[in-house]
Homo-oligomer: A and B are copies of this chain.
Amino acid sequence: MIFKQLFDADTSTLTYILADAVTREAVIIDPVRGQTKRDLAVLKELGATLKFIVETHVHADHITGAPELKAATNAQFSAGKATGLVCGDVMLDEGDTLTFGGEVLYSFATPGHTDGCTSYRWHDRIFTGDTILIGACGRTDFQQGSSEVLFDSIQKIMAYPDEFIIYPGHDYNDHRVSSVGQEKLTNPYIKGLDKAAFVEKMSNLKLPMPAKIGVAVPANVHCGDAEAAGIDTSKIAHST
């Protein structure tokens, strides 16, 4: 198995490339617009062919790099069916899988940050998107956010064995990896909180809106096609 973790400093987004070691078929999880050259260079270095572009959810803080990657590789776009996206190629229901070579990515719904939030399991690694961050969790105060629903999704991930590795969609503190056991012990949004206490804690966060939400959400509901979303792309220039 081949595994790469990539970081976009502008949005603190973690992107993952998984590939079968023999066939070199690959999946990319949560690519970022503007990092396409980097992502294609990694794929080329690995000798990999991109088969699926996978989203954990409709992001509010960055635009997906899916259209550029799709144009360059002919990969298929995939996300949870509950995102409501009509532009995806393979829309996933609970337990649906994506195969690449002899490898399988297993999808399961983890709504709460958004309706369509989907986590993915590959061997003993879980890609949690914004459902669980290292020592934190996704916010629930915009899009279809629901603290009650997010609590249940977090518990769904915490039900995996303690050794299972957590790879989140972002990190703002230079962390890169955690585990179910570590989050149980250290995450202040998990440790010692029942649903009522979690909902109460989430209701008191009073966070500012993400800077890019106005362009990111419309673009991402068009699977990253900012132009189709009617966005002035000159205003979302990004280092490429």
Q: Tell me if A11 is interfacial: C-beta within 8 Å of chain B.
A: no
Give the CA-CA distance A165 to B5 in the complex, in Å: 11
In the complex, what distance in Å separates the CA atom of A117 from the CA atom of B181? Answer: 27
Distance, CA A36 to CA B1, complexed state (A): 33
Distance A174 CA – B188 CA, assembled complex (angstroms)? 13
* 26 chain-A/chain-B pairs, Cβ below 8 angstroms: A1-B123, A3-B124, A3-B163, A4-B163, A5-B162, A5-B163, A5-B179, A5-B181, A162-B176, A165-B165, A165-B177, A173-B186, A174-B182, A174-B185, A174-B186, A175-B182, A175-B186, A176-B178, A176-B179, A176-B181, A176-B182, A176-B185, A177-B177, A177-B178, A177-B179, A177-B182
What is the total number of copies of this protein in its complex?
2
Min C-beta distance of A125 to chain B, whole Å: 9
Task: Report the interface size class on chain A.
Answer: 20 to 34
User: Within the assembled complex, what's the spacing in Å between the Cα atoms of A176 and B175?
Assistant: 13
Q: How far is the CB of A155 from chain B (nearest CB, A)?
A: 19
Residues of chain B within 8 A (CB-CB) of A182 are 174-177
Interface residues of A in 130-174 (CB under 8 A from B): 162-163, 165, 173-174
Q: Chain B nearest CB: distance from A179 CB in Å?
A: 5
Nearest neighbor of A165 in chain B, beta-carbon distance: B177
Complex: chain B residue closest to A162, CB-CB? B5
